Structure 1
Amino acid sequence: MTSTWRRLTDRLNGKQEPEALYEELPDHLSVPLRQWSITVLRNYNLVGLVCLRLRLPSKVLNSQSPEGMLANYQDSRNPMIFIEIIDALLAGLADVSPFSSGRYNGVTVGDLRNELDRILLEGGSAYMINPEKNGLCRRVDETLRQSLEAAVQAADKQTQGASAHLREAFAAAYGINPNPSVAYSQSIKAVEAVANPIFLPKSPEPTLGAVRSNLDQGRKKYEMVVHDRSGAPAEINAVVELLNLLWHGQRDRHAGGPTSRPVTQEAAETAVHTAALLVHWIATGAIRKK
């Protein structure tokens, strides 16, 4: 949890470690989140949209108060259902015109997002509003999130492809239903999108593996903008090693091999942040020809 407030007993005992984050919908978050959803669900179009997207039973829309029933919806088979409803409502706020901008029942959509963000933060939820503000993702350290956004912005100045892949990678790694394989694949595509035009401009079939080989074999042709301890431009060894790590770590690229295995959540998260660093370095010219 990134909130700086600490309960009295923790302050008295000198406790410094952060609180554990709460998965699903803990009791203390239930009422604030359901009250927030009632405010948003005053727009009946959002009620129908959420029910359709989450394939909820027809009893919701057939009830005397669909918005009230949706705001209090529970499913014993799916303890994540209300988190999914909040996620779908955020997407709806971004999608449904005219509620994607301007004022909404006396408050702006930005106000609604800010209130939700406050509830999730102060309640120690494991989820936060994603960078696109159209859904939830798993809570990540603010420094890591800012580094990812810096990479996206740097990539946008060079090519839109890299930033789009990087956002997809983040969503797949930290979404409420993570997909590690997609996160890893999109991480590689993000680096390819920014690196291929620079390092393999004439290649008919450029890949990250080819970029890695090109830089590995041409280490003497490139340098870093940062200096080493002798005061000379540093060699690109760190870049090559990061490319090796990202390229060789995707163990589900091909099936049936002796080292093939599914991508783990931890590996996917590492790939996303490795890709963000590489995209930022390449897009900002941190790696240059001598």
Structure 2
Amino acid sequence: MTRTWRRLTDRLSGKHDPEVLYEELPDHLAVPVRQWALQVVSNYQVVGVVCLRLRLPSTVLNSHSPGEALANYQDKSNPMIFVEIVDALLAALAEVRPFTAGRYNGATASDLCRQLDFILTEGGSAYMINPDKNGLCRRVDETLRQSLEAAVQAADKQTQGAGAHLREAFAAAYGISPNPSVAYSQSVKAVEAVANPLFLPKSPEPTLGAVRSTLDQGRNKYEMVVEDRTGAPAGINAVVELLNLLWHGQRDRHAGGPTSRPVTQEAAETAVHAAALLVHWVATGVIRKK
């Protein structure tokens, strides 16, 4: 869902700057999000799973109403705790599937996901429901999200491995607890999953680096479906350069070298979207032999 409504004073003043997104659980979001949680935690199995996974104190499950205790739980030392609870609730919904027609006012897991998505979007939260509907991730531009989903769908038609790696890369880059190293590594694996069978079908140990070298040395053997300025099929220079960028940018692949360093959050996000583009190109035949 894309938020298009703007407040009256902004419309009158002609202000079009992007709205500042809210971290944690600000006051204006607290009540609707906690009310949403109350619907979910009416299932005791979900409450137990969340308490176990987040290592919440026994006072929650020992309370007179564990569901209410969880929906209203606070921890002054951890301002992100309720965002983590919502994230865990979504995962439990996806796994336990406790909601069926006719129960809890007819709400289903899908209904509850749509309700939360509306609340987070309209309230300007920095978080959104992830593409797999089983947790939260940082809000990303709708165009970027759609491009990732298109790449995953194209990859799944060819090989499920690439799509799974892309999903993991996205979750690691944009999850509530980002892991840039995992995001970058999974991005590389996503491209390898679609490119290795195509460009290195007989190699016993195919890697992205080997794909890069094969295409670099065989630029005259491949072309793209898009045309260049002369009207002929374009060369694959852009593909090779994008592979170079992705391959050389993973600075934590080997330890102890003079240029080894941890992957930054910015580099991880760049890798995810570079991988999505490459996966989409390979999976849909944008790169072809002459």
TM-score, L = length of structure 1: 0.98
Counterpart amino acid of residue 32 in structure 1: P
The 3-state SS of whatever aligns with 2:251 is coil
Aligned to 1:136: 136
State how far apart, in whole Å, the 2-side matches of 1:228 and 1:36 are.
Answer: 53
State how far apart, in whole Å, the 2-side matches of 1:103 and 1:224 are.
Answer: 53
Using the TM superposition, give the Cα deviation of residue 78 of structure 1 relative to its aligned residue in structure 2, in angstroms.
Answer: 1.0
Aligned to 2:32: 32
| Alignment pair present for 1:211 and 2:211 | yes
Counterpart amino acid of residue 22 in structure 2: Y
Using the TM superposition, give the Cα deviation of residue 2 of structure 1 relative to its aligned residue in structure 2, in angstroms.
Answer: 4.1
State how far apart, in whole Å, the 2-side matches of 1:204 and 1:40 are.
Answer: 49
Using the TM superposition, give the Cα deviation of residue 103 of structure 1 relative to its aligned residue in structure 2, in angstroms.
Answer: 5.4
| Alignment pair present for 1:56 and 2:60 | no
Structure-to-structure mapping, 1:107-118, within 5 angstroms = 107-118=107-118
Counterpart amino acid of residue 28 in structure 2: H
What is the percentage of aligned positions where both structures have the same residue? 82
CA contact (8 A) 1:103 1:109 kept: no
Using the TM superposition, give the Cα deviation of residue 257 of structure 1 relative to its aligned residue in structure 2, in angstroms.
Answer: 1.1
Check 1:154–1:102 CA distance in 2 against 1; reply closer, same or farther (3 A cut). Answer: farther
What is the alpha-carbon root mean square deviation over aligned residues? Answer: 1.1
| Alignment pair present for 1:234 and 2:234 | yes
Using the TM superposition, give the Cα deviation of residue 201 of structure 1 relative to its aligned residue in structure 2, in angstroms.
Answer: 0.3
Aligned to 2:149: 149
Deviations 1:76-114 (A, max 9, x none): 111110001001111111111443x65541222211111
Aligned to 1:77: 77
The 3-state SS of whatever aligns with 2:61 is helix
CA contact (8 A) 2:161 2:193 kept: yes
The 3-state SS of whatever aligns with 2:268 is helix
CA contact (8 A) 1:151 1:279 kept: yes
CA contact (8 A) 2:212 2:240 kept: yes
State how far apart, in whole Å, the 1-side matches of 2:286 and 2:102 are.
Answer: 43
Aligned to 1:5: 5
The 3-state SS of whatever aligns with 2:176 is coil
The 3-state SS of whatever aligns with 1:137 is strand
State how far apart, in whole Å, the 1-side matches of 2:111 and 2:64 are.
Answer: 29
Q: Which runs of 5+ in 1 are unaligned?
A: none
Aligned to 1:45: 45
Structure-to-structure mapping, 1:112-127, within 5 angstroms = 112-127=112-127
The 3-state SS of whatever aligns with 1:190 is helix
Using the TM superposition, give the Cα deviation of residue 156 of structure 1 relative to its aligned residue in structure 2, in angstroms.
Answer: 0.8
Aligned to 1:220: 220
The 3-state SS of whatever aligns with 2:288 is strand
User: Which one is further off, 11-20 or 235-244?
Assistant: 11-20
State how far apart, in whole Å, the 1-side matches of 2:229 and 2:76 are.
Answer: 60
CA contact (8 A) 1:102 1:109 kept: no
The 3-state SS of whatever aligns with 1:173 is helix
Counterpart amino acid of residue 10 in structure 2: D
CA contact (8 A) 1:208 1:247 kept: yes
Q: Which runs of 5+ in 2 are unaligned?
A: none
Using the TM superposition, give the Cα deviation of residue 255 of structure 1 relative to its aligned residue in structure 2, in angstroms.
Answer: 1.1
User: Which one is further off, 253-262 or 175-184?
Assistant: 253-262
Counterpart amino acid of residue 248 in structure 2: H
CA contact (8 A) 2:225 2:233 kept: yes
Using the TM superposition, give the Cα deviation of residue 256 of structure 1 relative to its aligned residue in structure 2, in angstroms.
Answer: 1.3
Q: After the TM superposition, which segments of 4 or more aligned residues of structure 1 sit over 2 Å from their partners?
A: 101-104
TM-score, L = length of structure 2: 0.98
User: Which one is further off, 101-110 or 220-229?
Assistant: 101-110
State how far apart, in whole Å, the 2-side matches of 1:215 and 1:3 are.
Answer: 42
Aligned to 2:191: 191
Deviations 1:44-65 (A, max 9, x none): 1111111001110001001111
CA contact (8 A) 2:43 2:98 kept: no
State how far apart, in whole Å, the 2-side matches of 1:198 and 1:147 are.
Answer: 22
The 3-state SS of whatever aligns with 1:243 is helix
Aligned to 1:284: 284
CA contact (8 A) 1:180 1:263 kept: yes
The 3-state SS of whatever aligns with 1:186 is helix
